[in-house]
Structure 1
Amino acid sequence: MTATDPYDVIGIGIGPFNLGMAALLDPVDHVKAAFFDETAEFNWHPGMLIEGADLQVPFLADLVTFADPMSPYTFVNYLHKQNRLHKFFFFNRFDIPRTEYNHYAQWVAGQLGSCHFGKRVTDVKDYKKEGEQLYEVVVEDREAKVIERYFTRHVVMGTGSVPLVPDGFDQFPVEDVVHTSQYLCHRDTFDKAENILVVGSGQSAAEVFLDLLQRQHSFDYRLHWITRSPGFFQLESGKVGQEIFSPDYVDYFHDLPFEKREEELPNLYHIRNGVEEKTLHEIYDLLYHKSIGEDRAPVTVRASSDVESIDVNDNGHYTVTCRQWMEEKEYRIMADKIVLATGYKPNIPGWLEKFSDVMEWEDDKRFKVTRDYRLVFKDDRPNNFFTITNIEHSHGAGATNLGLAVYRNMKIINEIAGEEVYPEQSGTVFQSFGTPEESE
């Protein structure tokens, strides 16, 4: 689109959030949209698509259902089109395999002409011509090696997150010191290891540990699992507790002062982090079976331990220095392969820095975001810059939750369209947040 015929919205990044937006915008004829992603095709966390691993939200949290259950892009319609509906009926579960969610999303992406892969957004600029204010989006076609320029009234930044690797831990060969995001890419190189260390205690760490534990009988390695947390805790899955992943809670959280929001996030750790009960049970049962007839299984599990450094020893293996922070004592683990389940950090594009002086900030790292996901600018610009990246401080623990992704997209689409294309709902949960109204 040219400056005289711009898009209504351009989405930067095509993860589940922007893919869902593209699917919901597909039938909206009066909103012209395009979405760009630098990868060659949609592929959701391919390094962690371990066989047997499930999505942590029910299948109703697909790309569109909460906004439009009659959409052709629902997960149920995907099953129907793939001739899998009867199989899923007998599967008889609310959660679905992670690999199937990825396949479903690829199926949706393949039908949307607004989604363009192999296109890396290298810059976004303010553009003014003849009194109209737009955004100019500069895109590199990674195959053709050409620069393209597009113009749009609104932008949605959905650049997601990138692996968080501790300082100094990225200097080793990636096949030896592996972040969980790349686990399956390098798993075959683990087979000849003598000692394997998994660091972390969230769902990803547990899934990797379980996978290695299941494969241990075929290979002769010792397995270590450590975490800085005081224990290997179960994810809180109580139904009332899960209601924080609702539009009503987001309304409440967003209205709190910034300082109160900061205080609240750690209190929700057990709801948004931890390991599913099913995974912990599988790990314990397997450890129990491995211990029969043995003084001690070739496995070490230890909490309250920080990894302080990794060094190459004289044998070409790794010496990992750890600190048991409760006892304030150091110890060392010898390892050939190390898996870092150290989480992710927001992926903030470098070009966003040019807007920093005209944006409002909560603190020196976190920008101010409205309830409907708009960045707040000091100038009263008519064109919105939406973000679904780096919003935990503004929208709470559910900022990256797939169950809220559709609601986010509904809010943004309605703002762009200037009308309620998708009716928004309130009073969606039994729980009430905040102080009661006078009428109560």
Structure 2
Amino acid sequence: MYDVIGVGIGPFNLGLAALADQVDGMDALFFDQSAKFEWHPGMLIEGSDLQVPFLADLVTLADPTNPHSFLNYLHANNRLYKFYFFNRFDIPRREYSDYAAWVASRLDNCSFGKRVIDVKYNAQESEAYYEVVVHDIETQAVEHFFSKHIVMGTGSVPLVPMETEGCSTEDVFHSSQFRFYEEEAKRSNSITVIGSGQSAAEVFYELLADQHQYRYDLTWYTRSVGFLQLESAKLGQEVFSPDYVSYFHELSFEDRKNALSTLGQLRKGIDPETLKKIYDLLYHRSVDQQTRNVTIQPLTEVQKIQNAENESGYQLSCHQWQKGESFRHHSEKVVLATGYKPHIPKWFEKFNDQIEWEDEKRYKVSIDYRLQFKNQRNNHIFTLTNLEHSHGAGATNLGLSVYRNQQIINTICGEEVYPITQETVFQQFEENEKADL
């Protein structure tokens, strides 16, 4: 009987596993269907950096002495002096992926190649527990495990908002697959990138940098009003703090939804350095008028992608929504940097009628990340997935994932194993002193 079983091993549950590994007497086990840990392998573009400081590793913000820290990874891999002279807080995304894989390889509580196919709740009078049914990908065996609590860390899956029926997945593909189809795409005559965030910008820059060698036409469309940069001011970034999470969670559901809509540039903007590199490259190319086969157009929604009738490639049905004008665009390859949506596993459906919901898609979550059951129980299902509506803009923030895991471990253990810090930022989000009425 485990204290907790985690479903999925992405950075969030991996961080939980790394912290749990250092808690005496805590029995935890984590499953993932992948053969090994991989973090967005299709987007590990050379030169792309993590958008949070290296201190937002899997453990440091909870326990700087933890042996699974990024600094210990550097030390163990003889990279500490190189990093010292690198002298930066942001690190290559490829290095973060390698660091996380290093941690996963050191943890006995992480089991890969195991797909969770069912989770059942057994409400026995003596001891209630969850039964986790696991399919071994290699041996095809089905195993059963038992746990007092569950953590759902099933992450997200690509979001494709337009119709793409009949399109080849090797020609029209999500940015999460970019590295796998990059070379073939560059050998085509035309490539279109769709999206407005950091992934779209990084893909566009990578294609722009090699355009002079391959000679393809390059187009970038977004339905946003512009190619807006990420708000990186230090006070603005304080919304990714425990203080703001606590404030946000206390708001009503309607107020939380409205607050999310005002935080767009803090959550989904493009790193200023990436935009600068794109503009500088375009400017240098413009000296010799080498930008005529580059199109960059905001305010444009791509509504449908279908096979072109009389030529190879695809026809994109586009709509410039501000002027209300529709047009068609031809492209041989299309990269969909259109974001992600929460991945809720099939087995979770059996709990739908047992938990409380804020609307038809978003379940109710406590401040310590427990799903709220209509009939309260002592055996919890914690969730690290689909949290923006309950815990704010930092739901996918790597730094705040450590704070989440602290709270989950403390709740499971029934004591403050990892102390939760208060007043972590300079600003406050409401008046502390309540005047008597």
Deviation readout 1:136-191 (Å, 9 max, x if unpaired): 01110010001111000000000000000125225311110010010101111112
Over the residues paired in the alignment, what is the CA RMSD in angstroms? Answer: 1.3
> Are 2:187 and 1:187 aligned?
no
Contact 2:164 2:306 in 1 (8 A): no
Partner of 1:15: 10
Q: Distance in 1 between matches of 2:183 and 2:254?
A: 46
2:75 aligned with 1:68: no
Percent sequence identity over matched residues? 58
Spell out, residue by residue over 1:25-82, the C-alpha distance to the aligned partner (whole angstroms, 9 max, x if none).
1121211000000001000000000000000000000000011101111101110111
What displacement does 1:436 show? 3.2
* Amino acid corresponding to residue 281 of structure 1 in structure 2: K
Deviation at 1:392, TM superposition (A): 0.5
CA distance in 2, matches of 1:287, 1:380: 59
Alignment-mate amino acid for residue 15 of structure 1: G
Aligned to 1:153: 148
Give 1:3's aligned residue: none
Are residues 42 and 319 of structure 1, via their aligned partners in 2, closer, same or farther at CA, if it must alter by over 3 Å?
A: same
Query: Secondary structure of the residue that 1:358 maps to in structure 2?
Result: coil
1:333 to 316, 329, 336: 329
Aligned match of 1:274: 269
Q: What are the equivalent positions in structure 2 for 1:248-397 lying under 5 Å apart?
A: 248-294=243-289, 296-313=291-308, 314-397=310-393
Q: Which residue of 1 aligns with 2:422?
A: 426
Structure 2 residue matching 1:110: 3-state secondary structure: helix
Matched, 1:403 2:399: yes
How far off its partner does 1:200 sit? Answer: 0.6
Residue 211 of structure 2 is aligned to residue 216 of structure 1: yes
> What residue number does 1:230 align with?
225
- Give the TM-score normalised by the residue count of structure 1: 0.97
Confirm or deny: 8 A CA contact 2:163 2:303 kept in the other structure.
no
Q: Secondary structure at the residue paired with 1:357?
A: coil
Q: Which stretch of the first structure deviates more once superposed, 367-376 or 129-138?
A: 129-138
Is 1:36 the counterpart of 2:28? The answer is no
Q: Which AA in structure 1 matches 2:371?
A: L
Q: Which amino acid aligns with 2:39?
A: W
Residue type of the partner of 2:28? Answer: A
Deviation, 1:295, is 7.2
Separation (CA, whole Å) in 2 of partners of 1:171 and 1:349: 26
Contact 1:290 1:297 in 2 (8 A): no
User: Is this contact kept in 2: 1:153–1:384, CA < 8 A?
Assistant: yes
CA distance in structure 2 between the partners assigned to 1:89 and 1:297 by the alignment: 43
The letter of the residue matching 2:382 is: F
CA contact (8 A) 1:369 1:376 kept: yes
Q: SS of the counterpart of 2:128? A: strand
Listed as ranges, the gaps of 5+ residues in structure 1 are 1-5
For 2:244 and 2:290, locate their aligned partners in 1 and report how far apart those are by CA, in whole Å. 50
- CA distance in 1: counterparts of 2:369 and 2:165, whole angstroms: 33
Cα distance 1:296–1:283, how it changes in 2: closer, same or farther (>3 A)? closer
Distance in 2 separating the partners of 1:239 and 1:290 = 34
Measure the CA separation in 2 of the matches of 1:415 and 1:310. 48
Letter in structure 2 aligned against 1:242: Q
Q: Distance in 1 between matches of 2:209 and 2:291?
A: 17
Q: Distance in 2 between matches of 1:191 and 1:268?
A: 35
**CA-to-aligned-CA distance 1:240-264 (integer Å, 9 cap, x gap):** 0000000000000000011110111
Residue 107 (structure 1) aligns with: 102
Which residue of 2 is the match for residue 415 of structure 1?
411
Are residues 296 and 405 of structure 1, via their aligned partners in 2, closer, same or farther at CA, if it must alter by over 3 Å?
closer
TM-score, length-normalised on structure 2? Answer: 0.98
Q: Which amino acid aligns with 1:392?
A: E
Q: How much does 1:361 deviate?
A: 0.7
| SS of equivalent residue, structure 1 residue 188 | helix
Q: How does 1:113-152 map to 2 (within 5 A)?
A: 113-129=108-124, 131-152=126-147
1:337 CA drift (Å): 0.2
> What amino acid is the match of 1:52?
G
1:438 shift after superposition: 3.9
Unaligned runs of 5+ residues in structure 2 are none
State the distance in 1 between where 2:98 and 2:34 align: 16
Q: Give distance in 1, aligned partners of 2:86 and 2:22.
A: 32
CA drift at 1:129 = 4.0
State whether residues 287 and 297 of structure 1, in contact with CA within 8 Å, keep that contact through their aligned partners in structure 2: no
Alignment map for 1:22-101 (pairs within 5 Å): 22-101=17-96
Aligned letter for 2:152?
M
DSSP-derived class of the 1:41 partner: coil
User: Aligned partners of 1:397, 1:32: CA distance in 2, in Å?
Assistant: 31
Return the alpha-carbon distance in structure 1 between the equivalents of residues 302 and 321 of structure 2.
Answer: 10
Distance (whole Å) between structure 1 residues aligned to residue 285 and residue 361 of structure 2: 47
| 1:296 shift after superposition | 4.4
The AA in structure 2 aligned to 1:329 is: E
